[in-house]
Amino acid sequence: MIKITLPDSSVREYEKGVSGLDIARSISNRLAKEVLSITVNGEVCDLTRSIEADSTIKLNTWDDAEGKHAFWHSSAHLMAEAIDVLYPGTKFAIGPSIEMGFYYDLDLPEGKQITDKDLKKIEQKMLELARQKNAFVRTEMAKEEALAHFTEKGDEYKQELISELEDGTITFYEQGGFTDLCRGPHLPNTSYIKAIQLNSIAGAYWRGDEKNKMLTRIYGVTFPKAKFLDEYNKMMEEAKKRDHRKIGKEMELFTFSQSVGQGLPLWLPKGAALRERLENFLKVVQKKFGYEQIITPHIGDVRLYKTSGHYQKYGADSFQTINTPAEGEEFMLKPMNCPHHCEVFKFKPRSYKDLPTRFAEFGTVYRYEQSGELHGLTRVRGFTQDDAHIFCRPDQLKEEFKKVIDIIFIIFKALDFKEYTAQISLRDPQKPEKYIGTPENWDKAEQAIVEACEEKGLNTITELGEAAFYGPKLDFMIKDALGRSWQLGTIQVDYNLPERFELEYIGSDDKRHRPVMIHRAPFGSMERFCAVLIEHTAGKFPLWLTPEQVVILPISEKYNDYAAKVSNYLNICDIRSIVDDRNEKIGRKIRDNELKRIPYLLIVGEQEAENETVSVRRQGEGDKGTMAMKEFADFINDEVRNQLSEIYN
Amino acid sequence: MIKITLPDSSVREYEKGVSGLDIARSISNRLAKEVLSITVNGEVCDLTRSIEADSTIKLNTWDDAEGKHAFWHSSAHLMAEAIDVLYPGTKFAIGPSIEMGFYYDLDLPEGKQITDKDLKKIEQKMLELARQKNAFVRTEMAKEEALAHFTEKGDEYKQELISELEDGTITFYEQGGFTDLCRGPHLPNTSYIKAIQLNSIAGAYWRGDEKNKMLTRIYGVTFPKAKFLDEYNKMMEEAKKRDHRKIGKEMELFTFSQSVGQGLPLWLPKGAALRERLENFLKVVQKKFGYEQIITPHIGDVRLYKTSGHYQKYGADSFQTINTPAEGEEFMLKPMNCPHHCEVFKFKPRSYKDLPTRFAEFGTVYRYEQSGELHGLTRVRGFTQDDAHIFCRPDQLKEEFKKVIDIIFIIFKALDFKEYTAQISLRDPQKPEKYIGTPENWDKAEQAIVEACEEKGLNTITELGEAAFYGPKLDFMIKDALGRSWQLGTIQVDYNLPERFELEYIGSDDKRHRPVMIHRAPFGSMERFCAVLIEHTAGKFPLWLTPEQVVILPISEKYNDYAAKVSNYLNICDIRSIVDDRNEKIGRKIRDNELKRIPYLLIVGEQEAENETVSVRRQGEGDKGTMAMKEFADFINDEVRNQLSEIYN
């Protein structure tokens, strides 16, 4: 008998050689139906693999990333099988699972091609093969034998992949008539796959290198229940409506100009107001936490970036350096604010009493991206980080981490992100030589992060080996209203730049010490954050934040004066309002302004002008009745006050 | 007899051939002593020149720029004469009057040089020659003869200058034994010059071109009374104390780093706070005037700047273009914000009802300056303009100009600049071909500026031919507390960019029209303006603006807690305070904090802690007695409220 420890720490005994599927069955029939893969001592495996010794396990279902991964990875194999049947002679490159589904890159036989209208046919074939309940069978294979298999098939892609693997680590999976080089894990058989949808076809270079052959990539998504596919399609429909590029245009938040350049956003008045309000909100919060705002230029001498190492890192693939009429003088667009902040730290001697010193800057940085990679505000070439650098003593790390976590909590609360997780990235304990900084300092820093997260009750996962070479870090992921995950802010410890810039402070022992640096950006960048916020709220920003809180719609031109009077009154009450005094029918005005996502629409005509009242509509909700001007102003101010007091308390 | 019209429009009759000196004498002996040059029909002339026809004149004294110009220009000749005597064989290049004094560029004979300790000797010789009362005698000379004169003298600099002049326009001036090529005008004789001080020696390339020979430049200043020199020296002493570079360091407002690059300021926390408060002040004002803030990137595709013409203008002498990994892709650091603002204007169709559209941006631009030209914050390579562009119909120009003037008045009032003038720069009526845009539009624009200035009661001077080729403009000059002039904001009409960017709006006639653009920047740039403000106030910023209003100084560490309590209380009352809780003697704390120019210093010890009071000191003024905490808070808030209500009313 062997001992199997479950996630709730309970221990069960089984015969040696028991499989995940056996364990699931022993717990409940329902679990046996739902389980998709098993994690054994940290390694994700097939459910059918036998367990030979005492182990800690986790059974993964559709609710776990590890479950979905096995499901979609198996679906990629299923699609390959279908294509192998329909387009014999196709060569298969790689076919991974992705965040939402899977793809496979194919090299179709000479003269063949797959277009959108072929996708249905492939889906049908996949369903047919799935119903055959073909088992995914794993075999280990010697490298020579594996090479021989694909040489015979004439698939140079798999041959290239195998040639890079070590002998003894190579496994194949076979289902139905299809065999693929694969690490696994996979589902027990194809019948788990009930709903299939192939979404799109794209071109992709073998290994992402444009010098290689262009392959055909087919994206798909599959589900264990037909109902899940319907939900997925509804969600995609909603996501399309919430696309920040679409809403950004409708609300006139930002635009791009080919003449200015791709990936360089122009913030229109309303977008700039939104961004400024977000920045001011963060400035107020940061001031409370002892941050000092600074302002630094957008370029720097290349020597600065050679010192920091950014020149070496961003060199050839980025914006090139800027020459001047003076010989040998060379500047660079700043890809990061940290080198400038180090120089500000250095401008005068610092004592241990001055630490922590926290420099914040809404610093615009420029990093080159291939034009194909650009996407709205989420992937741009110039963006403004809500950046700050904390220079502190090693013993202050934990306290500073906790304070940054507090700031991030305030932001999530303010902007109604209710679900979030964090990832702690630590050293790879096997490879200490990879990291700069003393092991003692690393121990301190890692412990500081772990303890800070614990004390703040943060829901975290810990990844070994994911730390940067210069320090451990903490990344925040949020879920938006559609359940999509976004990576936002990062808190990064840095032992490297203080070393490179020879930063120092005088300790209480009157000796020179090196401070530790923390990089942190809760929003990440204003561009990316605004994009996420737009998609999360569908453009309906919280009342305290939204650039225009109220729009006043006179029923006809006769009431434009009264509308202006109401607007003036509201502005005096610190409420941001505008008037739509266009010569349009009221129905049209309501429709147009609903689209602008202004939270309140006030309709004013004869009755309202006579009684000094307003007819109130809430955007997306309709009529809310008539109020006196003052009553309405109090109502709005109360709502904002409630929102703000919830944020800060 | 001829008719002479004086500035007060009175008309006097004189014999034909009367001189300026004669006219002055006919008015008063005192005036005859004080007059230095005469302006005849707009042209500044020697006082001894005879007037042959009816004319409008102005007699210029030391109080007029034209008087000082003649005085200092004559002093340059006097210095040259002295050097010609002391260092025979010296060649003379150019010797103009400047804002405060004059200089002369010399090519000394082989092996000779002038050092600081030689300046006294030259001053003595100048005084000796001045007392000789040598007349400045003007002679017209044919080009050939003039060339011959300097060929004989072996002075290749004057030869080069003469070769570029047209025959018939060449005049010489002679005083004592010294003759110089010169347009004049000059003083009647050398005896006017009573006080002489040579200030410094510098190197200067002939014609400013570093490929040419380096000449010796001697700077000096002279006065008609010994007392004026004393005043000048006192003023220079005060100016040194107020040097914004010195105060910027003492107050920790900004710094520079060689690693970041020359001319690229790093704004330290207190400087950044000052700048942000100024920006917010202007944002509030501009919002009232209907401006919309936008945000645009700091780079743009070179094609954008080829369209605007900035590429051609800033090309070779500026920061060079930025290449990317993509072939043929080329960006430029933005030297101006206007091209970006034109693209924002173009992002959607505009109607005549949408105009004026006013886009404002605190836009950071980068322009290359030779390293020798850089100076603190007044001459930098990267600076942030308080920029805005107004797109309006031609008939809206005057109203828009008046509104911009109103904004500028609010700024001058807010920052206590009491003396200012403005220069209207119009077309050269002789050269209509120089200008872009129709004559009708120019007429309208020039009239709009002139009328706007009149209606606003602005003290202006008008310069013909000083307009840019693309439109007339209005420049503001202020006098600071030391009486020095600074050029600040500009309002510039532009017909060129709307043309180049093909900007359009749909008129009430449903046809396409071209809008007019107004560029305007009341501060000019945040860097330059802060420099001027620091020198004007000697770092003692108005209470409403200053980043730190109050510093609390506990007498010993025992009272640090009470100091923190006071600071908290003040912060709640919206008063910006800090605590100096260093372990230093109170005398040292007072001295250190006086240097920081924080307006109020609160000293707290046993008595204050017991009675919840504070001992108040006003910076630079000393003890103001003891107040209760609340009493002090009210006192400060009243002072700020009074300042702000004066600004806005």
Contact A69, A97 (CB under 8 A): yes
Chain A: closest CA distance from residue B177 (Å): 44
DSSP assignment of B592-645, as one string? HHHHTT-SEEEEE-HHHHHHTEEEEEETTTEEEEEEEHHHHHHHHHHHHHHHHH
Q: Does A476 touch chain B (CB under 8 A)?
A: no
d(CA B627, CA B566): 12
Q: pLDDT tens across A57-112, in order?
A: 999 999 998 999 999 999 999 999 999 999 999 999 999 999 899 999 999 998 89
Size of interface A-B (CB pairs under 8 A): 176
**What pLDDT is recorded for position B399?**
95
What's the one-letter identity of residue B384?
T
**What pLDDT is recorded for position A16?**
94
Residue reference for tokens 């020459």: A323
d(CA B488, CA B495): 23
Q: Which of B257, B303, B320 lies closest to A343 in CB terms?
A: B257
Domain contains A588 = yes
Domain contains B379 = yes
The CATH number covering residue A618 comes to 3.40.50.800
pLDDT band at A321 (very low <50, low <70, confident <90, very high): very high
Whether residue A523 has pLDDT greater than 90: yes
Structure tokens at A14: 């089984």
Distance (Å) of CA B28 to CA B25, B47, B62? 5, 15, 16
**What pLDDT is recorded for position A484?**
85
Contact B325, A337 (CB under 8 A): no
Residues A349 and A221 in one domain: no
Contacting residues for A626 by C-beta, under 8 A, at least 6 apart: A608, A613, A614, A615, A616
d(CA B645, CA B414): 10
Among A residues 357-416, those touching chain B with beta carbons less than 8 Å apart = 359, 364, 366, 368, 370-371, 382
Which one of A260, A370, A374 would you mutate to disrupt binding with B, by most B Cβ within 10 Å of its Cβ? A260
d(CA B545, CA B598): 11
Q: Does B228 touch chain A (CB under 8 A)?
A: no
d(CA B220, CA B196): 7
Q: pLDDT tens across A239-259, in order?
A: 899 999 999 999 999 999 999
Instruction: Give B-chain residues touching A346 at CB under 8 angstroms.
Output: 257
Whether residue A649 has pLDDT greater than 90: no
The CATH number covering residue A271 comes to 3.30.930.10
Across the interface, whether the CB atoms of B325 and A331 are under 8 A apart is answered no
Residues B414 and B497 in one domain: yes
| Domain housing A31 | 2-61
| Listed residue (B161, B95, B207, B68) closest to B169, CA to CA | B161
Structure tokens at A568: 């003036």
Residues A272 and A298 in one domain: yes
Whether residue A169 has pLDDT greater than 90: no
**Parts of chain B with a pLDDT under 50:** none
pLDDT band at A645 (very low <50, low <70, confident <90, very high): confident
Q: Does A346 touch chain B (CB under 8 A)?
A: yes
Annotated active-site residue A387? The verdict is yes
Strands B171-175 and B178-181: antiparallel
- Secondary structure in 3-state letters for B89-145: CCEECCCCEECCEEEEEEECCCCCCCCHHHHHHHHHHHHHHHHCCCECEEEECCHHH
Strands A2-5 and A55-60: parallel
Across the interface, whether the CB atoms of A296 and B261 are under 8 A apart is answered no
Annotated active-site residue A473? The verdict is yes
Chain A: closest CA distance from residue B310 (Å): 14
Across the interface, whether the CB atoms of A295 and B316 are under 8 A apart is answered no
Domain contains B278 = yes
Q: Where are the beta strands (DSSP E) in B455-515?
A: 460-464, 473-479, 485-494, 505-506, 512-513
Residues B284 and B157 in one domain: no
End-of-domain residue from the set B61, B84, B102? B61
Across the interface, whether the CB atoms of B296 and A346 are under 8 A apart is answered no
Count of structural domains within chain A: 4
Residues B497 and B579 in one domain: no
Query: In this predicted model, which residue has the larger pLDDT, B630 or A372?
Result: B630
Q: Does B276 touch chain A (CB under 8 A)?
A: yes
Across the interface, whether the CB atoms of A293 and B324 are under 8 A apart is answered no
What's the one-letter identity of residue A254?
F
**What pLDDT is recorded for position A648?**
75
Across the interface, whether the CB atoms of B340 and A364 are under 8 A apart is answered no
Residues A226 and A260 in one domain: no
Structure tokens at A611: 């009684």
Residue of A nearest to B303 (CA): A259
**What pLDDT is recorded for position A527?**
97
Annotated active-site residue A385? The verdict is yes
Contacting residues for B589 by C-beta, under 8 A, at least 6 apart: B553, B580, B582
Residues B351 and B204 in one domain: no
d(CA B188, CA A102): 94
Instruction: Give B-chain residues touching A303 at CB under 8 angstroms.
Output: 259
End-of-domain residue from the set A10, A44, A61? A61
Q: Does A328 touch chain B (CB under 8 A)?
A: no
| Listed residue (B32, B49, B102, B43) closest to B71, CA to CA | B102
Task: Output DSSP code: residue B233.
Answer: H
Residues A121 and A135 in one domain: yes
Contacting residues for B368 by C-beta, under 8 A, at least 6 apart: A324, A325, B314, B317, B318, B319, B381
Domain contains A239 = no
Instruction: Give A-chain residues touching B320 at CB under 8 angstroms.
Output: 322-324
Domain contains A238 = no
Instruction: Give A-chain residues touching B255 at CB under 8 angstroms.
Output: 344, 347
Residue of B nearest to A319 (CA): B324
pLDDT band at A150 (very low <50, low <70, confident <90, very high): confident
Which one of A266, A302, A576 would you mutate to disrupt binding with B, by most B Cβ within 10 Å of its Cβ? A266
Which one of B257, B306, B579, B580 would you mutate to disrupt binding with A, by most A Cβ within 10 Å of its Cβ? B257
Domain contains A363 = yes
**What pLDDT is recorded for position B356?**
97
End-of-domain residue from the set A481, A514, A537? A537
The CATH number covering residue A16 comes to 3.10.20.30
Instruction: Report residue B259: phi and psi, to 5°.
Output: -70, -35
Q: Which of A259, A267, A301 lies closest to B261 in CB terms?
A: A301
Domain contains A407 = yes
Chain A: closest CA distance from residue B632 (Å): 23
The CATH number covering residue B156 comes to 3.30.980.10
Residues of B annotated as catalytic (active site), given as ranges:
338, 367, 385, 387, 389, 473, 519
Q: pLDDT tens across A133-142, in order?
A: 999 999 988 8
Pure H helices in B336-438: 338-345, 397-414
Domain contains A207 = yes
d(CA B82, CA B222): 14
Chain A: closest CA distance from residue B262 (Å): 9
Which letter, b or e, does each residue of B542-571 get, where b requires 16 or more Cβ atoms within 10 Å of its Cβ?
bbbbbbbbbbbbbbeeebbebbebbbebbe
Q: Which of B260, B273, B326 lies closest to A293 in CB terms?
A: B273
Residues A315 and A403 in one domain: yes
Distance (Å) of CA A269 to CA A156, A253, B164, B358? 55, 7, 53, 10
Contact B195, B231 (CB under 8 A): no
**What pLDDT is recorded for position B166?**
85
Across the interface, whether the CB atoms of A260 and B319 are under 8 A apart is answered no
Chain A: closest CA distance from residue B648 (Å): 15
pLDDT band at A300 (very low <50, low <70, confident <90, very high): very high
Residues A344 and A439 in one domain: yes
Residues A457 and A418 in one domain: yes
- Secondary structure in 3-state letters for B159-174: HHHHHCCCCCCCEEEE
Across the interface, whether the CB atoms of B325 and A298 are under 8 A apart is answered no
Chain B: closest CA distance from residue A539 (Å): 19
Residues A57 and A71 in one domain: no
Lowest mean pLDDT among A145-159, A449-463, B189-203: A145-159
Q: What ipTM was assigned to the predicted interfaces of this complex?
A: 0.85
Q: pLDDT tens across A42-70, in order?
A: 889 999 999 999 999 999 999 998 999 99
Structure tokens at A438: 């003393």
Among A residues 505-544, those touching chain B with beta carbons less than 8 Å apart = none
Q: For a pLDDT cut of 90, what percent of chain A falls above it? A: 76
**What pLDDT is recorded for position A615?**
96
- Averaged pLDDT score across all residues of chain A: 93
Identify the burial level of B574 via C-beta atoms within 10 angstroms of its C-beta, where 0-12 means exposed, 13-18 middle and 19 or more buried: exposed
Q: Does B356 touch chain A (CB under 8 A)?
A: no
d(CA B621, CA B257): 35
